[in-house]
Structure 1
Amino acid sequence: MTFSEKLRAAQARNLSWLCVGLDPDPAKIPAGWDVVAFNRAIIAATRDLACAYKPNLAFYLARGSKGIDELAQTLAAIPRDIPIVLDAKFGDIDSSARGYARFAFAELGADAVTVSPYLGTDALAPFLEFSKRAIFLLAHTSNPGASELQDALVASHQLEPMLEPLYIRVAQIAADLNGAGETG
């Protein structure tokens, strides 16, 4: 089953478009709870409401090898019929991207991953080689400094000699790569 099929099935079953973030910020975890127990409680409370779960890799990496183990245990607690979007924001050259793709899809079993497109489409290709998996390109993010780059005007490939914001170009790249319906 592809990511899109799995997502649509979860949306239909749970009548929901809710994607639940699993970002174990130590400041927000109640005293006496460990990361895995906290995440399992969230998953148990939302399994009939969520159409996807989105763990943010940075929170787990900050905890070292223990965090990677906690991430693996968290992913194992997610029902298999609900897709996992690994929020990793990967973006690197081809050889590194291959390692990131293998880690996300083959090792962790994520159904989709967030990626930074700013190294070009060749850096995205390793992720697209995993059939039935999806990628989400960062185009126009919500952080305060996003406009510094994302709103920069670049020459349009669609409306030459017009200019367009860089985030529009990124969205067009996502659309162009979406032949199999697994790029957003």
Structure 2
Amino acid sequence: MSAASKVLSTEPLLESEAVWTKLVKKTYTDPNGVKRTWESAERRTRPKGCDIDGVGIVAILDSETGPEIVLQKQYRPPLDQVVIEIPAGLIDEGETAEQAAIRELKEETGYVGEVLETSPIMWNDPGFCNTNLRMVHVSVDMSLPANQDLKPELEENEFIEVFHLKLATLWDDCIKLEAQGYAIDARIANIAEGIEIAKKYRL
């Protein structure tokens, strides 16, 4: 699977070859009126008139031993590592965040879900790029026949391994997965850390 993937070379990307992103230099004034510059990246793929680039999907399965979250293992060339992620994807023109979430969940994992709620717009790394998303919370009814016989619809360049972990031990499992050599996506880590904070402060 994707664990066999590896980066073969790294070189500068010419502006004329860039399909997904572009580098920009912004000139701005700070609170003291001093003119400064900032280097950042921007996506080229956000649909016209849309306020987000994509969605992240918090898909929860109800099991006899407690709720579990649907996760993925996927090789990511920028890190040259397999990353533990939630299902996610770019939004298509004319789609709502909710529609994109249901579509991406089915395509990447095979699961059919029902939207529960949608987050405010979240910015992935605002010091570096303008990429943003909404997190869509989805419940997965395991009694549905479609969720018994999963049929993901992966593109030819997608190699995704789907698994799930218990929410109650997600933080500890992230630590174990990192020790095994996996990279942990910040969205997973934030969910796990939030659960631990809620436990500590009895929220």
Q: TM-score, normalised by structure 1?
A: 0.27
Of Structure 1 and Structure 2, the greater strand share is in 2
| Higher Rg | 2
- The higher relative CO (CA closer than 8 Å, separation ≥ 6) is in 2
Of Structure 1 and Structure 2, the greater helix share is in 1
